[in-house]
Structure 1
Amino acid sequence: MPEVEEIRTIPHWVDNKPFVGAGGTTSPVTNPASGVITGHVALANVEESRQVINAAAAAFPAWRDASLAKRTTILFKFRELLNERKLELAEIITSEHGKVVSDALGEVSRGQEVVEFACGIAHLLKGGTTENASTNVDVHSVRQPLGPVAIISPFNFPAMVPMWFFPIAIAAGNTVVLKPSEKNPSAAIWVAELWAEAGLPAGVFNVLQGDKTAVDELLTNPAVKAVSFVGSTPIAEYVYATGTAHGKRVQALGGAKNHAIVLPDADLDLAADAMVNAGFGSAGERCMAISVIVAVGNIADELVQKIKERTLTLKTGDGTRDSDMGPLVTKAHRDKVASYVDAGERDGVTIVVDGRTVQPDGEANGFWLGPTLIDNVTTDMSVYTDEIFGPVLSVLRVDSYEEALDLINAGPFGNGTAIFTNDGGAARRFQNEVEVGMIGINVPIPVPTAYYSFGGWKSSLFGDTHAHGIEGVHFFTRGKVVTSRWLDPSHGGINLGFPQNN
């Protein structure tokens, strides 16, 4: 058992203050780079879950009726505070997830893009008007918030993924209950404290720590009007089925098995750099990570050699040190990922770089697995069929573009993909023919900017609405159309003062 030090209790957050509850059930939180337990997170029972949900429900009427000017003023303040103190948040992420601090800073910055997008939400919430649609009859449309909404976020992006959702939800007039992963719950509390400092009224942003008990209450409680979820496909299916069965609007983003096609005309140095970056960043714990390289034609040997050379330069270690890649999030996850490498070895793959033997710059009890490159993978192997979610990069060899395309389109997932080529015609054909939601052309991780929407196809998304962008605004609002006739004009009196938004 690792040494226990600096034990603390990580609470819920309700009505702008921490709340532990009397349930007493907790789960350990561990520093992945040392194996040391650094805290225990409170796990809500049903009663405590309802207390958090009820706080969001009680705060909704006043927040719904708050002026858009007031909402966006608070959002701008939150943005400025986040920008000033984002290193604090990045260091919290590193301490509980394990990713290197620079990667955690990148996560915060990508999340802040959505905050900035939401600061301009006024333009997207305005409706339309038709005067004299019929004689003396006017028609106009409005978009209104839903009510209390839930966000259930995964361990791999404890700041960015919640920020895909809550800035838009709050700016639109909803109240929020965030259920973070119990593996790294502290980032959510830090964000809640920042919202309070920015002036957000009590009950508008709440944090519910917990496990399946808390999730099930969010999915079934009638006060919760919508649920945003990101995680594995089996759980996404469960969240979507359960939430919609209880009358909720649900967007559930699931798993992925992202392929990158490298055509014979590609710049192989660019492709090799991109494959290392996309395969091993954040220890491969990204839903947009490239996990399969599809090498077309006779370039495979040269491409694999270039990737190998780059992979061998990577330094695995404590994310607070001068490392390129940190540990995996838990020992159990580390062992699971390593078991796929074991299975691939039994199935006859060529292990080009073996991360199981890595010598990390970190404590012996850390959850270490170095970058792993395996070649001569076939489609019947578990290293190909399963979402590994770790630093394992597989190479498949095919003879043609058509064969590579068929591999991707035959798969159950459709989250992200990429093609590396200098042929514009091939790239244009690929973006038209591939059955995937997010596509990169000489870009390995095609996560769209905040004013576009994030989400995949097939078993990578359950529900019709993607995250952030205009689809996010539509998810967290609903439309009304008002038809009116006024036979007598009214008079508002005289006021020569300059009109103000209050």
Structure 2
Amino acid sequence: MQELTHYINGAHVKGTSGRFADVFNPATGEVQAKVPLANKDEFDAAVEIAAAAQPAWGATNPQRRARVMMKFVDLLNRDMDKLAEALSREHGKTFPDAKGDIQRGLEVVEYCIGAPQMLKGEFTDSAGPGIDMYSLRQPLGVTGGITPFNFPAMIPMWMFAPAIVCGNAFILKPSERDPSVPLMLAELIEEAGLPKGILQVVNGDKEAVDAMLYNDTVQSIGFVGSTPIAEYIYGTGCSQGKRVQCFGGAKNHMIIMPDADLDQAADALVGAGYGAAGERCMAISVAVPVGEETADRLIEKLVPRIEKLKVGPYTSGDDVDYGPVVTAQAKENILRLVQTGVDQGAELVVDGRDFSLQGYEEGFFVGAHLFDRVTPDMDIYKTEIFGPVLSTVRAGSYEEALGLAMDHEYGNGTAIFTRDGDTARDFANRINIGMVGINVPIPVPLAYHTFGGWKKSVFGDLNQHGPDAFKFYTRTKTVTSRWPSGIKEGGEFNFKAMD
């Protein structure tokens, strides 16, 4: 049985709390490793090391910090397959999906190479008689992040890459369900030239989270996970005087207009609804066809596509559409919600409840499910299921469809499929959701734009990556400067003017 570690001050360090969590192979259901769960003393010791290392790193010029990111990109590409294999083994997602996870994180690292440009301040010459005014963007100090299981490479890099290139130290508390890749990333960025102590990986559970929240040295915290925990971390962190950004749950709607290309829409829904076993905060979990005819035709096209989906372990190669969910508890929760949907009157068109994979009966595999005639009062509509379950809510008109998405408590992502430019433009302008796709099913912005939802999907004023990251991980200092002139008329130096 492998025993994992923390990564502190450039070295793998065994846990001392005596507490461990099981790390499963989701495909087999077997425990493949144990990860230590840090206590407050362990966490505080890591912060102390980071605080000692940060001033020298913060004083390093941005161009040199950016060069570390350049080298880190090279190493990520070099070890892509190695990282993806470790990710798939612990998370369960297919190998191509795992590589996509790493790639989207890598793209944020690439964006961070532009730090010298992003960290430039502003200058006003002669703001007053002999007075100049300028601003500086300076690092916060020690920063922290709490990341989820579903993207164990991408989201840590979304946080620590901009934090570090801005001159901060960073304490990463990854998910205890799949901690190996974050540990590998810490090794790689130090190989790229990052000084020891600037990136620390401390594994743990709520005790480590609370240690981060109440440690006075930690200046900012980023979080991605469920909305109840996001609310807790945001409220507690802000009360402790920290800068906090928290990203919570989602229930992403895709509206299908009568004029849409339904083959394109059906393909998009299958990929967006069932890819990664639905364990994505940007997954489409609600299809909203407008009109009964549109709904009937869409269901007709969806059913054969969903029934052909291949579910299996990542070791089966690229032929698999999605793998297992992350834990037995996750599987149990998904199937419980599916049964609730049936009990509340939704029509289960594709029933994956009896799915079993020969040779992997103990794995956490969940068959694909498709519901039709779901209504907004049902639990499967209100709740983020985080599994391979797509709900169809029929709308009588565009306005009704728009209202469904706007009235839901979550506002992470949404999409519309239509051939009509006026409808698409109206949708993009009116919808109260942070990320919008037009004939694009999962509208995740690229690294040079920002990622973030609205409503109960986000807590905080600034989004992830893009320009917002450089604002979040720095504070602005404004300097007003006046140098009294010592030169008098005639060119002679006036010493009295300097008194």
Q: Flag whether TM exceeds 0.5 (same fold).
A: yes
Please give the alpha-carbon distance, in whole angstroms, between the structure 1 residues aligned to 2:252 and 2:389: 12
Counterpart CA distance in 2 for 1:312 and 1:143 is 54
Q: Is the 8 A contact 1:315 1:360 kept in 2?
A: no
Once residues 246 and 186 of structure 1 are traced to their aligned partners in structure 2, the CA distance between those partners, rounded to angstroms, is 31
Number of matched pairs = 484
Query: Are the aligned partners of 2:253 and 2:286 in contact in 1 as well (CA < 8 Å)?
Result: yes
State the alpha-carbon separation in 2 of the partners of residues 60 and 427 from structure 1: 48
Q: Which residue of 2 aligns with 1:312?
A: 307
Task: Identify the residue that residue 397 of structure 1 maps to in structure 2.
Answer: 394
2:15·2:37 contact (CA, 8 Å) conserved in 1?
no
Deviations 1:292-340 (A, max 9, x none): 0011012111101111111111100001213111000000100100111
**In structure 1, C-alpha distance between the alignment counterparts of 2:358 and 2:448, rounded to whole Å:** 39
Matched, 1:145 2:142: no
CA contact (8 A) 1:317 1:362 kept: no
Residue 339 (structure 2) aligns with: 342
SS at match of 2:444: coil
Tell me how far 1:51 sits from its aligned partner. 1.0
Aligned partner of 1:496 in structure 2 is none
Q: 2-side partners of 1:173 and 1:288: how far apart?
A: 30
Give the equivalent residue in structure 2 for 1:130.
124
Q: Among 368, 378, 383, which residue is 2:380 paired with?
A: 383
**1:177 corresponds to which of 163, 171, 176:** 171
Tell me: CA distance 1:488–1:9, structure 2 relative to 1, closer, same or farther (3 Å): farther
* Match status 1:452 vs 2:452: no
Cα distance in 1 for partners of 2:467, 2:146 equals: 21
Q: State the match for 2:263 in structure 1.
A: 269
1:290 and 2:284 matched: yes
CA distance in 2, matches of 1:489, 1:392: 76
TM, length-normalised to structure 1? 0.95
1:37 aligns with 2:34: no
Residue of 461, 467, 473 corresponding to 1:470: 467
Q: Deviations over 1:241-290 (max 9, x none)?
A: 01000000000001001000000000000000000000001000000000
2:205 alignment counterpart: 211
The 3-state SS of whatever aligns with 2:366 is coil
Counterpart selection for 1:67 from 38, 61, 72:
61
Aligned residue in 2 for 1:11: 5
1:55-95 CA distances to partner (integer Å, 9 max, x unpaired)? 11111111111122221111111111001111111111101
Shift of 1:391: 0.5
CA apart distance, 1:220: 1.0
CA offset digits 1:105-164 (Å, max 9, x no partner): 011111111000001111110011111111111111110000110110001000111111
Equivalent residue letter for 2:469: G
| Offset at residue 359 of structure 1 (A) | 3.8
TM-score normalised by L of structure 2: 0.96
CA RMSD in angstroms, aligned pairs only: 1.2
Which among 158, 163, 167 is matched to residue 157 of structure 2?
A: 163
Q: What corresponds to 1:111 in structure 2?
A: 105
Q: Which residue of 2 aligns with 1:499?
A: none
CA contact (8 A) 1:451 1:470 kept: yes
The CA distance in 2 between the partners of 1:431 and 1:201, in whole Å, is 44
Provide the residue aligned with 1:438 in structure 2. 435
Does 2:14 align with 1:20? yes
SS of the residue 1:357 aligns to: coil
Q: Name structure 1 gaps, 5 residues minimum.
A: 1-6, 491-502
Q: Which amino acid aligns with 1:473?
A: F
Sequence identity (%)? 51
In the TM superposition, what is the alpha-carbon distance from 1:361 to its structure 2 partner?
Answer: 6.0
Alignment partners' CA distance in 1, 2:198 and 2:66: 14
Contact 2:38 2:207 in 1 (8 A): yes
